[in-house]
């Protein structure tokens, strides 16, 4: 008998056969089951005779157990082993305690490894092999043994303390299990979770290999002479040729099955399948590949701009078109895939020739109405084309480049001055629009509107235009600042001279934002003169007719006093 080794005493109730009967006179069995757990367990038929021992004197005459089948399979401890005796239908043999003078047979019951009477000990050797319940040395408990010295070998039970009814069977050689595949068989539909099962002698190694000879599943038959496995590296979805091979402990390999299986729900190997590098593509070209379900795919141009995205579907496939498509001509594309672990893998770095990706040249607006310097002018065109907007005098007031998505947008810079505008929009060499709009809120041109000549007074307003927020400065001919202000939000400015120059001829220079915009010669009247005595000079000789004269603010009262405060003039 072939021995197997286990870590603990236990049992395995395995279906697949039916116990037909157990009596004091014989056994009948159906198909064999598999080995149980325990130490040094063996698996095979138990065949032989049943004995009734009313006393512990001479052995009674043996009678045949007509129902016993040599091929019926049991599991039980071999010599030196400990464990349950399990029938083909998964029940365990339980030995019953027996008082002196009473007798009671063993019974098949539901397995329970906490019941000591279901624990059996194999003792002896190939010549005299015994099975004892409860302990390896028990003599009062039910025990089986085989004795090869009698013909045929028979099982007996001895009891020095009284009579018991006992069942004795001779142990036959265990049945050898040929390796086999139970399921799934070639032609079946499988998934990554499909369990491959079968039978083989203990320690037989089972391997599943693909058509390239790669091992994608492995298992080892256990003590119960069964095996099962799940593919550790499932093939991609679709038809795959698989081979199931069993290799016994002597190294002999046997092919159990070889054929085509249809895989669904598998994580495909990461890959990029089309289009091939070096080919011509269009905006409608489909980029496709494989990967794990839910993985994210991005397609980028050489500058890192994302031109396409996709998610791997349940069948392990992904596909997408480029949006926006690259400009016509040679383009380098990188295809990347990222898994749930956040790790990104590059699938391809290819060069293609793009055709048919340009948008038509067009101007979408504004076409009429009021605009401001913040108004966006928009349209479409061939990617990379230059867009130019000019005013009625041909001055460029806006320029940009059509983007990768075929769209363009710009604001007028410099913005024209407020008022009606005739604009021309060109894309490349093509004029696409002549919008007529009205500008408001624009930065006006720097200018000085007046006064430019003639007489002025301290209340005269100096005016002009300029960019919002710019500083306006007016200086006299000596560089003295005589007026300053800031251009308003309407592009206008206005100020009065402060301090006002002295009456008389005055040269005034106007600057806006550091730019000189006017240089005017004017005549100041009505200005407040500096308070001063101009004549006679101090220390000079005077007479009653001497005229005292000077300057001052209009309306000032002038008094001449002596040292005692007497008013003299």
Average confidence (pLDDT) over 226-246: 93
- Per-residue pLDDT of 319-347, as tens digits, reads 999 998 887 889 999 999 998 889 999 99
Secondary structure string (H, E, C) spanning 469-490 = CCEEEEEECCCCEEEEEECCCC
Taking the C-alpha atoms of residue 373 and residue 10, their distance in angstroms, rounded to an integer, is 89
Structural domains for the chain: 19-171 (2.80.10), 180-263 (2.60.40.1220), 275-354 (2.60.40.1220), 362-439 (2.60.40.10), 447-524 (2.60.40.10), 529-569 (no CATH)
- pLDDT given for residue 117 in this prediction: 79
- pLDDT given for residue 125 in this prediction: 57
pLDDT beyond 60 at 50 = no
Secondary structure string (H, E, C) spanning 204-244 = CEEEEECCCCCEEEEEECCCCCEEEEECCCCCCCEEEEEEE
- pLDDT given for residue 4 in this prediction: 34
Average confidence (pLDDT) over 459-469: 92
pLDDT beyond 90 at 362 = yes
Concatenated DSSP letters of 26-95: EEEE-S-----SSEEEEEE-EE-EE-EESSSSSPPPPEE-TT--TT--EEEEEEEEEE--B-TTS-EEEP
pLDDT range class, residue 165, cuts 50, 70, 90: very low
More confident: 374 or 61? 374
- pLDDT given for residue 193 in this prediction: 93
- pLDDT given for residue 172 in this prediction: 42
The lowest-confidence range among 118-127, 172-181, 455-464 is 118-127
pTM recorded for the entire structure: 0.36
Average confidence (pLDDT) over 38-63: 46
- pLDDT given for residue 99 in this prediction: 44
**Mean pLDDT across the chain, nearest whole number?**
79
- pLDDT given for residue 128 in this prediction: 53
pLDDT range class, residue 30, cuts 50, 70, 90: very low
Average confidence (pLDDT) over 400-404: 90
Closest to 291 measured CA to CA, from 336, 261, 238: 336
């Amino acid at each position: 008998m072939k021995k197997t080794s286990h870590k603990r005493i236990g049992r395995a109730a395995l279906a697949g056969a039916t116990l037909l009967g157990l009596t004091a006179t014989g056994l009948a069995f159906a198909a064999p089951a598999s080995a149980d757990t325990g130490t040094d367990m063996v698996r095979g038929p138990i065949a032989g005779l049943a004995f009734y021992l009313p006393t512990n004197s001479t052995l009674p005459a043996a009678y045949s157990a007509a129902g016993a089948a040599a091929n019926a399979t049991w599991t039980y401890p071999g010599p030196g082993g400990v464990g349950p005796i399990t029938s083909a239908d998964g029940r365990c043999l339980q030995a019953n305690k027996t008082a002196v003078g009473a007798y009671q047979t063993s019974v098949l019951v539901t397995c329970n490894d906490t019941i000591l009477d279901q624990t059996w000990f194999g003792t002896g050797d190939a010549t005299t092999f015994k099975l004892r319940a409860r302990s390896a040395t028990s003599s009062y408990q039910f025990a089986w043994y085989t004795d090869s010295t009698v013909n045929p070998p028979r099982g007996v039970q001895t009891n020095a303390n009284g009579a018991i009814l006992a069942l004795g069977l001779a142990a036959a050689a265990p049945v050898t299990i040929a390796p086999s595949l139970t399921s799934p068989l070639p032609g079946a539909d499988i998934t990554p979770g499909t369990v491959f099962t079968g039978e083989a002698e203990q320690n037989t190694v089972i391997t599943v290999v693909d058509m390239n000879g790669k091992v994608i599943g492995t298992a080892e038959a256990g003590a119960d002479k069964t095996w099962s496995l799940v593919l550790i590296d499932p093939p991609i979805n679709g038809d795959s040729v698989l081979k199931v091979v069993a290799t016994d402990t002597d190294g002999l390999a046997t092919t159990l099955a070889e054929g085509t299986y249809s895989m669904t729900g598998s994580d495909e190997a990461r890959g990029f399948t089309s289009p091939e590098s070096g080919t011509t593509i269009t905006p409608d070209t489909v980029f496709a590949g494989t990967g794990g379900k839910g993985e994210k795919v991005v397609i980028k141009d050489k500058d890192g701009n994302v031109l396409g995205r996709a998610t791997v579907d349940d069948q392990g496939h992904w596909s997408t078109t480029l949006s926006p498509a690259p400009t016509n001509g040679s383009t380098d594309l990188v295809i990347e895939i990222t898994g749930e672990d956040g790790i990104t893998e590059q699938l391809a770095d290819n060069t293609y020739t793009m055709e048919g990706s340009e948008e038509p040249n067009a101007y979408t607006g504004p076409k009429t109405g009021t605009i401001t310097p913040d108004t966006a002018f928009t349209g479409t065109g061939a990617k990379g084309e230059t867009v130019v907007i000019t005013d009625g005098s041909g001055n460029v007031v806006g320029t940009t480049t059509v983007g990768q998505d075929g769209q363009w947008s710009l604001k007028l810079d410099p913005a024209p001055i407020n008022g009606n505008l005739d604009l021309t929009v060109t894309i490349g060499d093509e004029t696409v629009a002549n919008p007529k709009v009205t500008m408001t809120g624009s930065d006006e041109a720097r200018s000085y509107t007046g006064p430019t000549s003639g007489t002025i007074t301290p209340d005269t307003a100096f005016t002009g235009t300029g960019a919002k927020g710019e500083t306006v400065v007016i200086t006299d001919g000596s560089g003295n600042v005589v007026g300053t202000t800031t251009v308003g939000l309407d592009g206008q400015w206005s100020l009065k001279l402060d301090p006002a120059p002295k009456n008389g001829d005055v040269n005034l220079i106007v600057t806006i934002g550091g730019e000189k915009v006017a240089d005017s010669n004017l005549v100041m009247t009505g200005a407040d003169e500096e308070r001063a005595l101009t004549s006679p000079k101090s220390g000079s000789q005077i007479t009653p007719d001497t005229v005292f004269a000077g300057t001052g603010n209009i309306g000032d009262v002038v008094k001449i006093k002596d040292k005692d405060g007497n008013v003299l003039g």
